Structure 1
Amino acid sequence: MVRPLRELLAVARTGHLTEAARDLGVPQPTLSRSLARLSAQVGAPLLRKRGRGITLSRHGRLLAAAADRAVREVDEAVRRIRADVDPESGLVRLGFQHVLGADLVTRTLRGFSADRPRVRLQLAEGGADHLVADVVNGRLDLALVAMLEEVEGASVLGTEPLRVLLPAGHPRAGDASIALAALAGEPFVAMAAGYGMRTITDRLLRDEGLVPEPACTCEDLATAAGLVAAGLGVTVVPAGIAPPGTVEVPLARAAERVVQLLWSAESITSAPVLALRDALARTVPAQLAERGPR
């Protein structure tokens, strides 16, 4: 149905069957028969003669207006489909937690973008629970998250050990390890609800028989670490992020978070999405291995 609509638009643009046929690259008799069939399909004449040329009838103008919108939408859909099946172009929507973006994601994207400069990236940062939901709901194509437990259907890329983060002058800062129960009564800095580290911290505290009651909450792990450095409390963090003025101490009951990659079942049929998924699956485990035990 799209071809006759294009033909009708060509006649509307040129005002002549001969010129329209030439622009379309078809013989004039072929164009005339096609437009006659289109008129028969809609049940009304679409063209009328005007001098030596041709113009659209009232019904023809009505159909042409709709045809213009339809053809533009079809062309855009075809463009997007071709971009999807071409690994060298298209759009990928990637979500990740803040702390993962600072290192694991950016190193991967540097190489990926160098290899595929025409692929557009739409990046979203947020809490683990929100990112998982966004993949399930189709708002994201891919998400890199780190949680205490594995998400069903996710690909596990590695693990990160967890540490207690204390102010440098804390009495327990020199301990070889520490149980969270030993910090009962201390002000606790926590991530906001819905963030992976908040879920992890609450779970670890409950396992130690403590009721999670944060003294303050924030939405960025670097901010949480800064609050600890300022002496406003203690928290739990992935190993290796301690800023100046803080000390990481291993947990007496060792714990780690699982770094995992999720993808939308619908989006993974897109070539650029699949290419980025494979790049993350290849590079992130290597980066985690480079860190080693910290």
Structure 2
Amino acid sequence: MLSDDLSWFLILADSEHIGDAAAQLRMPQSTLSRRLGRLEQRLGTTLFDRHGRSLTLNTRGAALRRRLRAAVIQLDLAESEVLRLLDPETGLVRFDFMHSFGTWLAPRLIHGFVDDHPRADIHLHQGIGRDLIARVRDDEADVALCSPRPEGEDLGWLEVLRQPMAACLPSDHRLAHRRRIRLADIASEPFISTPAGFNSRDLLEGIAADEGVDIHVAFESDELSTVAGLVVSGVGVALLPADDPYLQLPGAVFIPLTTRRTREVGLIWRADQDPASTPGLFLDSARRVLSLMS
């Protein structure tokens, strides 16, 4: 790397003496002089003012020394980082997850990994399911917790859970006493949902299509907890996972929905990923955490 190829110039620039630099580098003075001559010829300028065997670094040589020293530092850091990444216990995993798992499921997986591998680094990113799938495919993330399951054989998949869907209603709603409900029963009411492109919105629209009803989304939020909070406020109804513990707000009731659709949740990763890598260790840790949860 550059730190090896041009380290001689930095030594010469610091000593400003051919003999002293050659002794430090353990090479003949003539060899060092030829290296300097070739470098100056390539650059088309002198880098030192000559005074016999003594040299004085000129402004052009000082500029080169400053830039080379900065480059050597960066290259040495890069080499150290590569060597660190070769050890999965001190490497990096880039973990993505959907917003709705940020309050409960993702933290459990993160905590389990940090406990198992305290010297490893973990970078986190939140987004919607479609974007997270694209990030894994584009090598911008290593592992993602998302929904729904992506198509194609280029990604691995570990099913985490299947969440049944429920109608989330204010506790004083006229249908709050029901044991089960169809979407058609509340289709005429204003809905609160996530924006278009989010998996929860896709499920709502898919179930509406299944039942042949039209719905009106009056309010949108990226966060399912906010959706549940708006239901409690009485401005509308929502379709939410029935078993998410962090959505069970006082003042809201969750009535199981009559539908074959569920929210399929899982971990994805690139199929060609090395199982012995740091992301591989993360997946092993996630499997252990999930087994304890089941």
1:165-209 C-alpha deviation (Å, 9 max, x unpaired): 122122322322211112120111111223221122221222211
Q: Residues 39-50 of structure 1: matches in 2 within 5 Å?
A: 39-40=37-38, 43=41, 49-50=50-51
CA contact (8 A) 2:166 2:254 kept: yes
Matched residue type, 2:267: L
For the pair 1:156 / 2:158, whether they are aligned, the reply is yes
In the alignment, structure 1 residue 215 sits paired with structure 2 residue 213: no
Structure 2 residue 246 is the aligned partner of structure 1 residue 244: no
Question: Which aligned pairs between 1:106-255 and structure 2 lie closer than 5 A?
Answer: 106-147=107-148, 149-152=149-152, 153-158=155-160, 159-240=162-243, 241-255=247-261
Q: Deviations over 1:52-84 (max 9, x none)?
A: 643446765565455334323322321231232
Query: Structure 1 residues 100 and 151, CA, compared in 2 at 3 Å: closer, same or farther?
Result: farther
CA distance in 2 between partners of 1:63 and 1:266 (Å): 43
Unpaired stretches in structure 1, ≥5 consecutive residues? 290-294
Residue 269 of structure 2 corresponds to 263
Structure 2 unmatched runs, 5+: none
Matched, 1:275 2:281: yes
* RMSD between aligned residues: 3.1
Q: What's the CA shift for 1:217?
A: 0.8
Deviations 1:10-46 (A, max 9, x none): 22123345655676xx4243x7625624633663665
Query: TM-score w.r.t. structure 1 length?
Result: 0.81
| Alpha-carbon distance between aligned partners in 1 of 2:32 and 2:235, rounded to the nearest angstrom | 78
Q: Structure 2 vs 1, CA of residues 22 and 175 (structure 1 numbering), >3 Å: closer, same or farther?
A: farther
- CA change 1:118–1:14 in 2 (3 A) is farther
Contact 1:93 1:142 in 2 (8 A): yes
Instruction: Kindly state the Cα deviation for residue 222 of structure 1 after the two structures are TM-superposed.
Output: 0.4
Correspondence 1:86 to 2:87: yes
- How many residues of Structure 1 are paired with residues of Structure 2 in the alignment? 284
Q: Which amino acid aligns with 1:80?
A: E
8 Å Cα contact 1:17-1:28 kept in structure 2: no
* 8 Å Cα contact 1:4-1:35 kept in structure 2: no
Change (3 A) 1:111 1:19: farther
Q: 1:119 to 1:16 in 2, by over 3 A?
A: farther
Answer yes or no: is the 8 Å Cα contact 1:84–1:91 preserved in 2: yes
Partner of 1:292: none
Shift of 1:269: 8.4
Distance in 2 (CA, whole Å) between partners of 1:161 and 1:150 is: 19
Give, in angstroms, the shift of residue 9 of structure 1.
1.1
The 8 Å contact of residues 157 and 284 in structure 1, kept in 2 or not, is answered as no
Would you say the 8 A contact 2:189–2:216 is kept in 1? no
Cα distance change of structure 1 residues 146 and 285 upon mapping to structure 2, 3 Å threshold: farther
1:234, distance to aligned residue in structure 2 (A): 1.5
